[in-house]
């Protein structure tokens, strides 16, 4: 066979499909036998159509399964072979719980749905969203409800970290000077006593003749040094007095012989007992005529202060700060009390100290007055103090003199803070700047977490109370002061002013001069600015004048509180008081086409007035309340008719008047409320 020859090709003729004669009436195609298909375990029956039916007509969709039916079948097949989780045990996790945590973060740590955690909180009566904070106790209950193991995290404790930084190989231990806090009622002579001991005149420098700052001084007596703290006696400075009692070794309670025990005296006793420190009594002003020191002793018995002359354990001294009587005896009693105290501390370690007062000074920045508790603070030391840190640029003693070191028990001013420390914070000297910053950042993080407001359980009564509080009028105030202690006392006093209707909202408070941002904030809040012992800078005064922002200056705290009380009283809604001015008896009635029924009356007491409101009383019941239409005396219209005179009275829009009815005349007055 020849290879080059190709086999003959056979032509296959294509079948010709003739169109139907009638397009509207296609030929009927017989339905073949139904075939059965198995799709994922589900039996489907599908009609097989003829080829010419597919070509010439549409498929029979009514006999096809619906799409939703197919989906249901597939889902059923999936769940059939899906492994069952009913028998699997729940994974129990150990959940770390800080002081406060958001709902979303708690759900994430438990690997639970946020919605489920929100529902669990709602069942406990806490309405919280995913981004809101809840406290650690609430979070612990929720973790237990979900079957997990809670692990409470304590607050950041710096004692161990600081102790590692402040370790010393060879400790030099010796007694430090005692810290003595002078406490008592306002104007009982506390600062005058310290002036007499130090031969100074601090009292003359105080505004209003009262102490408004906490002061620290040292006095030498019989080769011993005593550190004194002078605390304000005004009621507003309770936090300062409490702080003074907590960092002291002995409290000297000053009571005036001519005034005896007063509210701040009682408060000072309470602070001393809370701090668990001994009390030495100083009965002052014995140089005044007709004073009775025994009355002071007897009054103190009611507060469990039993003096030595009454067989008690409290040392007492009758003194006169003005005439300098028995001051040495008072110092002897203080040293006698110190003898039973253990005041041994380490001198050669890094210092820790308590911030007594803080302020901002022009050219020097933040300045803090501290008292060294332990160790020695030197110039150039790095330190941390709450959310502030820095390096000691200078140390100034009570006389304003620079010193290189501050030893235990010594009051000192420190320069070098990066921000204003809070009074009562503890200053720790650190070996380097990195350590100081590390601890400061931990404190900031902890304070930021604690400042987050957590959602609490609410009741229907609380919800209704919050709704009613929406009507409270608030007076926005920006407060600037010279020192931290005064600022604290002012803000505390202002927050106590008010009632359920009006209150003060301290929008911002800080140390230092009033600046432009303070005035702008007051303008935005529609409030006022208060400056205590400070003034506004020129730019702030210009903005305040332009924007009509009220800036008020004060140097005495009780004047500030009194003015704010009066100002807040002006926001109170006035009360309506009703005053009855007279009564009249209806003797007869007359009809008038113009005025209606006219009552012929006799004024039994007081007087009748056409400007007054009236009540018509019949058989002891009030029938009508309204106004006088006209008041006549004979034919003349009059303004008022006095007692024991007759008159004619018509009512506005009322005519049902009978004889023997009684008419009561009254007026209403608007009375301004006071706090």
pLDDT in tens, 178-196: 888 888 887 888 888 888 8
> Of all helices (H) and strands (E), which one includes residue 115?
helix 114-123
Rounded CA-CA distance 176/173 in Å is 9
> Of all helices (H) and strands (E), which one includes residue 42?
strand 42-46
Rounded CA-CA distance 183/204 in Å is 19
pLDDT of residue 171: 72
Q: Which residues contact 494 (CB under 8 A, 6 or more apart)?
A: 477, 479, 504, 506, 561, 564
In terms of average pLDDT, the best of 217-221, 405-409, 486-490 is 405-409
Over range 411-439, report the average pLDDT: 87
Rounded CA-CA distance 473/94 in Å is 48
CATH superfamily of 469-569: Translation initiation factor IF- 2, domain 3 (3.40.50.10050)
Rounded CA-CA distance 415/397 in Å is 12
Distance of CA 353 to the CA centre of its chain: 28
Question: For residue 237, with 0-12 CB atoms within 10 Å meaning exposed, 13-18 middle and 19 or more buried, which class applies?
Answer: buried
pLDDT in tens, 111-133: 999 999 999 988 888 888 888 88
Over range 219-229, report the average pLDDT: 86
- pLDDT of 173 > 90? The answer is no
Rounded CA-CA distance 601/599 in Å is 6
CATH of domain 346-451: 2.40.30.10
Q: Residue 605: which of 541, 544, 663 has the closest Cα?
A: 663
Q: Which residues contact 428 (CB under 8 A, 6 or more apart)?
A: 158, 162, 165, 166, 350, 351, 352, 383, 384, 385, 439
pLDDT of residue 272: 83
pLDDT in tens, 478-491: 999 888 878 888 88
Which position has the token pair 């200056």? Answer: 553
CA atoms in the 13 A half-sphere facing the CB of 43 = 3
pLDDT in tens, 147-170: 899 988 765 556 666 777 767 666
Q: Which residues contact 603 (CB under 8 A, 6 or more apart)?
A: 582, 583, 584, 641, 642, 643, 644, 645, 646, 647
Lowest mean pLDDT among 239-243, 319-323, 426-430, 507-511: 239-243
Over range 281-300, report the average pLDDT: 91
Reported confidence tier of residue 54, pLDDT bands at 50, 70, 90: very low
pLDDT in tens, 375-385: 899 999 999 98
Are 211 and 339 a contacting pair, CB within 8 Å? no
What percent of the chain has a predicted confidence (pLDDT) above 70? 78
Torsion over CA: 390, 396, 397, 402 (sign): positive
Are 339 and 389 a contacting pair, CB within 8 Å? no
CATH of domain 575-671: 2.40.30.10
pLDDT of residue 480: 92
Are 417 and 351 a contacting pair, CB within 8 Å? no
Are 632 and 646 a contacting pair, CB within 8 Å? no
Structure-block tokens of residue 473: 């009028």
- Angle between helices 114-123 and 136-145 in degrees, nearest 10: 110
| 3-state helix, strand and coil shares in percent for the chain, rounded to the nearest 5 | 30, 35, 35
> Of all helices (H) and strands (E), which one includes residue 518?
helix 516-525
pLDDT in tens, 543-558: 999 888 999 998 888 7
Over range 522-530, report the average pLDDT: 89
pLDDT of residue 240: 55
177-342: CATH topology is Rossmann fold (3.40.50)
The angle formed by the CA atoms of residues 248, 252 and 256, to the nearest 5 degrees, is: 150
pLDDT of residue 82: 58
Radius of gyration over alpha carbons of the chain, in Å? 44
Q: Phi and psi at residue 616, in whole multiples of 5°?
A: -100, 115
Reported confidence tier of residue 470, pLDDT bands at 50, 70, 90: low
């Amino acid at each position: 066979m020849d290879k080059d020859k190709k086999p003959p090709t056979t032509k296959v003729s294509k079948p010709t499909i003739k169109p139907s004669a009638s397009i509207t009436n296609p030929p009927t195609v017989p339905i073949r036998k139904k075939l059965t298909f198995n799709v994922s375990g589900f039996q489907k029956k599908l009609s097989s159509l003829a080829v010419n039916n597919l070509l010439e007509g549409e498929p029979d969709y009514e006999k096809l399964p619906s799409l939703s039916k197919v989906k249901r079948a597939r889902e059923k097949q999936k769940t059939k072979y899906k492994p069952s989780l009913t028998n699997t045990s729940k994974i129990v996790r150990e959940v770390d719980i800080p002081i406060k945590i958001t709902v979303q973060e708690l759900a994430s740590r438990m690997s639970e749905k946020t919605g489920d955690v929100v529902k669990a909180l709602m069942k406990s009566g806490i309405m919280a969203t995913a981004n809101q904070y809840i406290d650690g106790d609430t979070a612990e209950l929720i973790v237990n409800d979900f079957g997990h193991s809670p692990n409470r995290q304590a607050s950041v404790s710096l004692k161990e970290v600081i102790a590692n930084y402040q370790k010393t190989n060879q400790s030099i231990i010796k007694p430090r000077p005692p810290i003595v806090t002078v406490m008592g009622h306002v104007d009982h002579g506390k600062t005058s006593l310290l002036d007499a001991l130090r031969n100074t005149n601090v009292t003359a420098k105080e505004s209003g003749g009262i102490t408004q700052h906490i002061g620290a001084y040292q006095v030498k007596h019989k080769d011993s040094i005593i550190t004194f703290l002078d605390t304000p006696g005004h009621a507003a400075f309770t936090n300062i007095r409490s702080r003074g009692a907590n960092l002291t070794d002995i409290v000297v309670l000053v009571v005036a012989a001519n005034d005896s025990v007063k509210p701040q005296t009682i408060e000072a006793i309470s602070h001393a007992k809370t701090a668990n420190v001994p009390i030495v009594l100083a009965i002052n002003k014995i140089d005044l005529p007709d004073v009775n020191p025994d009355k002071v002793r007897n009054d103190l018995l009611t507060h469990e202060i039993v003096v030595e002359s009454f067989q008690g354990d409290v040392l007492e001294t009758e003194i006169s700060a003005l005439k300098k009587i028995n001051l040495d005896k008072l110092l002897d009693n203080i040293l006698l009390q110190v003898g039973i105290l253990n005041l041994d501390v380490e001198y050669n370690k890094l210092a820790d100290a308590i911030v007594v007062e803080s302020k901002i000074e022009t050219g020097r920045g933040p300045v803090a007055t501290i008292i060294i508790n332990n160790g020695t603070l030197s110039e150039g030391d790095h330190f941390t103090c709450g959310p502030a840190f820095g390096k000691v640029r200078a140390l100034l003693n009570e006389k304003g003199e620079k010193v290189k070191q501050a030893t235990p028990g010594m009051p000192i001013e420190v320069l070098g803070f990066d921000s204003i420390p809070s009074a009562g914070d503890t200053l720790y000297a650190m070996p380097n700047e990195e350590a100081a910053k590390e601890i400061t950042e931990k404190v900031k993080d902890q304070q930021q977490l604690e400042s987050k407001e957590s959602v609490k359980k609410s009741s229907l009564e609380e919800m209704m109370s919050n709704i009613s509080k929406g009507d409270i009028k608030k007076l926005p105030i920006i407060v600037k002061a010279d020192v931290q202690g005064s600022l604290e006392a002012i803000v505390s006093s202002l927050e106590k002013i008010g009632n359920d209707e009006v209150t003060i909202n301290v929008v911002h408070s800080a140390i230092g001069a009033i600046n432009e941002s303070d005035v702008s904030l007051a303008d935005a809040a529609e409030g006022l600015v208060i400056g205590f012992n400070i003034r506004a800078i020129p730019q702030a005064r210009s903005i305040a004048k332009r924007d009509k922002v009220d800036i008020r200056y004060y140097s005495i705290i009780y004047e500030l509180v009194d003015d704010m009380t009066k100002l807040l009283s002006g926001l109170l809604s006035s009360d309506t008081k009703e005053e009855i001015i007279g009564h009249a008896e209806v003797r007869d009635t007359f009809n008038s086409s113009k005025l209606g029924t006219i009552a012929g009356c006799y004024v039994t007491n007081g007087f009748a007035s056409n400007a007054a409101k009236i009540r018509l009383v019949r058989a002891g019941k009030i029938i009508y309340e309204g106004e006088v239409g006209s008041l006549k005396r004979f034919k003349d219209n009059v303004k008022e008719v006095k007692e024991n005179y007759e008159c004619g009275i018509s009512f506005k829009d009322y005519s049902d008047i009978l004889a023997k009815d009684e008419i009561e005349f009254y007026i209403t007055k608007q009375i301004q409320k006071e706090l």
